[in-house]
Amino acid sequence: MELFLNLAAILNLLFMIFVLFFERKEDSRRWAWVLVLYFLPVVGILLYILLSGHFFTKTKQLTRIFHFFDGLTRQFFQEHADFLKIFYQALDNPLLEEYKSLIKMNLEGNKSILALTSSTQIYCWGQDLFKDMLQDMEAATKSIYVESFIIHHDATGQAVMDVLCRKAQQGVEVKLLYDDVGSILTKKSFFHQLTKAGGQVQAFFPVKWRLPLSINFRNHRKITIIDGKIGYMGGVNIGDEYANCSKGKKPLWRDTHIRLTGSVVLALHTTFLMDWFTTPAWHTRLKKTEDIAKHFSTETIQLLQQQFSETKEAMEKNTFKPGGIPTQIITAGPDDLCSTEIQDALIRIIMEAKQYIYIQTPYFTPNQEFFKVLKLAALSGVDVRIMVPDQWDKFYVREAAYQFIWEMLEFGIKFYHYKGFIHSKTLVSDDKICTIGSTNIDIRSFDLHFEANAIFYDKNLACQCKEIFEKDMENSRQTSSQWFRSKPLLRRLLWPFFKMFSPLM
């Protein structure tokens, strides 16, 4: 027994040394893990292996899929990059000229093409979203692809499932991808309905009890693609609480989702296929790239190539004008070379701001880089406003966020607490640029989750997002330093304690 304890102590010490000297994340995250290892010896080691993000190994399938798509699209991306060099000079669009460095960064670092969005519809309420999305699904004639972090077996989830089953029985290609941890409370029998109807269902990175190293890397994206022509994305999962029809007393759930058409749907289509064909590695063994190619129907490959061509054609015909919105779909995840592409894009937008930055997020525990850029923007005279929930769904995240908020108030940043639970993930700046997606302002979204955001370079859409924010302000209370100082001392002492562990939340 004594020998075991000594070995455990040595192992724990080695892990602490590893974290201190080899952990490449920011200092706050390193020290948080050191504290966990110190106060929870051995248990802390298990938590570090499962949750730190250093023990995620790319599957061979993931690598093969990446190379397959890279081979399929490499020539286009090079042509696209070359075309953009002369595109800005030929096109009379000051807004694109202003943000060309951001566009280039997203293209080079994330392979995010500057695509065309033909039409948009923003949804602020889940119930309105599901009404339209179900109608679009009912009208599908070729394919329906659905990807969601959470799918509940309730009235809303069953309504979506019923449509998917019905369309699958009609011969429509239906694929449903859900996150294995996000939907852990949903019984597998619920998804078997679609399988029996002729559709296909997969769990993203299923967590195996023998090797649960992927438990921390979850697919937080919410994407729907219908017939390859209509796309939905944003913050809304599938369930009654997101549609504000839950049984029992629940806080008002405010979210943001968007419906898209145009060549931009290609990026969503590609993201879904990457996620879909990565997942089978956990239960099948495809040994060659050719085997992966066989899993793509000829029609799907042709659709990808067609939509790539449509994007280039739209640029050549100079159709980026009122009625056509230049858009980039940014994705990020632990499988990427740099897992912070979305965070980097948001930081770049904030750096470019001259007048204002409005942000909505359900969780607010930013890392050092994001904290600093918001601080510098506010000190530079930019009107920085951030909206968070008044009724939080996780108390420990709330307590950590309160310390961040209190500190940021001193720099002139304004915070608004939405009366209810706001799950929206949006940013708008200077009536010129906005982004809608699945990314929260926290380290988990920035560094660990698979996320997707759309960046729109358009004054009209930016103004629409600004108006939505200002309308939400009417249902919010603005917080102040005095409010924080008025809280009991014991409560105030909890805030820095939880903030210390915010890198692990």
- The catalytic residues are 220, 222, 227, 423, 425, 430
List alpha helices for 240-353, DSSP H: 265-278, 289-294, 298-316, 341-352
- Of the candidates 363, 434, 477, the residue with the CA atom closest to the CA atom of residue 95: 434
CA 218, CA 205: separation in Å to the nearest integer? 8
| Dihedral angle sign, alpha carbons of residues 91, 96, 97, 100 | negative
The angle subtended at Cα 261 by Cα 340 and Cα 134, nearest 5°, is 100
CA 459, CA 94: separation in Å to the nearest integer? 11
CA 237, CA 222: separation in Å to the nearest integer? 7
Q: Give exposure, 185-204, as e/b (b: 16+ Cβ within 10 Å).
A: ebeeebbebbeebebebbbb
Q: Measuring CA to CA, how many Å separate 399 from each of 422, 478, 504?
A: 17, 17, 14
CA 77, CA 266: separation in Å to the nearest integer? 14
Tokens of 407: 């500190």
Question: Where would I find the beta strands (DSSP E) of 133-291?
Answer: 143-148, 173-179, 200-204, 223-226, 230-234, 253-254, 257-261
Determine the longest span between alpha carbons in the chain, in angstroms: 77
